Structure 1
Amino acid sequence: MKNIFLFVFVLLTFSVRAQTHRFVYEYHFKTDSTASEKRKASMVLDVNPEEVKFYNYDFVVTDSINKTKGENNITWDDTPAVIRKKNSTINQNYLMVQNIFVTETDDKITWKLLNETKQMGGYHLQKATATFGGRNWTAWFTKDIGLNEGPYKFTGLPGMVFEVYDDQDNFRFTLAKSYRLARTYDTQSILENFAGQKPVKIPEAKLRKLMLDSYRDPLREFKEHLKNNTNPNAHFMVMGIEVKSPEQLKELSEKMQQHIRKNNNPIELDKAMHYPLK
């Protein structure tokens, strides 16, 4: 691992004045806090001249395929996607609840700097801790890079965050590589739009109501497609199960609700939904 960091992070020394810095973090997380294993994803932190964007690296892969092959594929998942002005704590949060929405939050984090240090890839890292979103976090950052940024909303330290994790071992972001881009990467077709649709900006309270409504009837849109279908050869699938009769929908809705309740472990624990059992 140390050799990888030595190879990758040496680029940072020469990219301080570049137009855009791209940092790629390995993200390990539990959507179900009772699970023994974590899911993982590669996440992009684009530090542009005026703003910062954090999103799934799969979006970049999809965008590249679309541009290379002239296709129009779309990708979205439940990993975080945020945009903020550089050196700001005001985040635009992009979320999918049936449709794409964006909420604005002020996410100032009060960090406590500690004297503990360590070396990683030739960089001198310092430890910091904070309580944010109902969880206790530990971050390792370096002052050797002239950026006060980090993954997700973990910004505001006097240096670049290399690693951050919570004390319950539910979430961990670790810097894996970085490189500079010749120009600011245009994410309009993969982040600020979804399938040609601009996100609707709404308050968090309204978004939570939409999430609750979606939970109460998780197959609402599916039922409409099934009802309006005129193709006798069409196949309708829910959670890998083919729906052959309307009588299946009640049981499948309950299974989906159970899945939603089980996977209710957001990064910001104090924003976890309180779903009714019935």
Structure 2
Amino acid sequence: MDSLNRDQVENEVMMLETSKEGSKFYSYVKYVYDSTMTATFKQANMKSQTNFDFTGLKNAKVKFSVTKKYPNFSTILRTEIGSTDLLLESKDKLVWKITPEKDEILGYKVQKATTKWEGRNWIAWFATALPIQDGPYRFFGLPGLILKLEDAKGDHQFNIIAIKKSDEILNQKINFGKSPTEILVSEEKFRNLWADYKKDPAKDFRQTLNSNTKLSVSVTFDGKTYNGDEMARQIEKEGRESIISTNNFIELNLYK
């Protein structure tokens, strides 16, 4: 969200999948995007294809995902800076204050609770009839599932739209480990990487491009084809635009 243009509200469908082992919170749009990209590149490798057409493929606004491991609720934030996949692990507990106010959401009786976390004051509504001490993003620890969550300024809101019980996990097995491409970082290291990215958003892409000078790659988005150098310039342009417009993060303290 752009704090300078608060009238421009952005929405995205998110999924919170829970199991006996833990939970995963992620963008459904990103799930579709990643699945399509993976299938396309897998097929391309089989055919030695170097031109890719992703016209019409919707990109996600929300890139991060969060996993929580039960019962201690160790939390892993999976996010990215440029093309670098990062993991931030936390075992911190949120300190909630449960208040008397009550309401109803999707037919469930809910109660209000508040907490201060990562530079914001948060308001949550939880349902004791759903005995899952979980919620959206990195929030948990109330005596019931969090059905609504927002910060006091209304910059970020999480509103439940449906609840479904299923034996089939959409995003397959919840991964609590680290993949070979992911880097586990501290908050301090994350801030340093963020500062470097703001200086040159296309740095990672250029390094990848220059590492294999024999490979000629072209990519088509929305009917327009880019070669490697054009793609680098486009990534830098879009990166700088995103840095300017995306300035109101959920965790204010993380992007200082």
Q: For this structure pair, what is the TM-score category when the shorter chain's length is used for normalisation?
A: 0.7 to 0.9
Q: Which secondary structure state, in structure 2, belongs to the residue aligned with residue 209 of structure 1?
A: helix
Shift in Å, 1:39: 1.1
The 8 Å contact of residues 118 and 252 in structure 2, kept in 1 or not, is answered as yes
Aligned equivalents of 1:70, 1:232: Cα separation in 2:
18
Q: Does 1:171 align with 2:141?
A: no
Counterpart of 2:250? 267
8 Å CA contact 1:141, 1:160 repeated in 2? yes
Alignment-mate amino acid for residue 99 of structure 1: T
8 Å contact from structure 1 (residues 107, 153) kept in 2: no
Q: Are the aligned partners of 1:192 and 1:199 in contact in 2 as well (CA < 8 Å)?
A: no
- Report if the CA contact (8 A) 1:42-1:57 is conserved: yes
Aligned partner of 2:194 among 172, 188, 211: 211
TM-score (norm. length: structure 2): 0.74
| Per-residue Cα deviation, 1:122-161 (whole angstroms, up to 9, x for no partner) | 2111111111111111111111112111111221111111
Distance 2:22 2:149 in 1: 21
User: Where do 5+ consecutive residues of structure 1 fail to align?
Assistant: 1-29, 274-278
1:114 maps onto 2:99 in alignment:
yes
Match of 2:77 among 66, 87, 93: 93
1:37 aligns with 2:8: yes
Give 1:59 shift. Answer: 4.0
Q: 1:86 and 1:49 mapped to 2: Cα distance?
A: 7
Counterpart of 2:67 (choices 68, 83, 107) is 83
CA distance in 2, matches of 1:142, 1:44: 18
CA distance 1:83–1:114, change in 2 (3 Å):
same
| Length, aligned pairs only | 236
- Cα distance in 2 for residues equivalent to 1:152 and 1:89: 12
Q: Is the 8 A contact 1:236 1:243 kept in 2?
A: no
Give, in angstroms, the shift of residue 168 of structure 1. Answer: 1.0
Bigger mean CA deviation after superposition, 58-67 or 133-142:
58-67
Provide the identity percentage.
25
Q: 1:113 to 1:264 in 2, by over 3 A?
A: same
Q: Structure 1 stretch 70-79 or stretch 97-106: which is displaced more?
A: 70-79
Q: 1:146 to 1:227 in 2, by over 3 A?
A: closer
1:149-168 mapped onto 2 (5 Å cutoff): 149-168=134-153
Counterpart of 2:121 in structure 1 is 136
Question: Is contact 1:63–1:190 with CA below 8 Å preserved after alignment?
Answer: no
CA shift in 2, pair 1:95/1:234, >3 Å: closer
Report the AA paired with residue 140 of structure 2.
T
**Structure 1 residue 45 displacement after superposition:** 0.7
Q: 8 Å contact 2:12–2:62 — kept in the other structure?
A: no
Mapped partners of 2:147, 2:4: distance in 1: 27
Deviation at 1:163, TM superposition (A): 0.4
Give the Cα–Cα distance (whole angstroms) in 2 for the partners of residues 215 and 188 of structure 1.
34
Distance 1:90 1:193 in 2: 14
Q: TM-score, normalised by structure 1?
A: 0.68
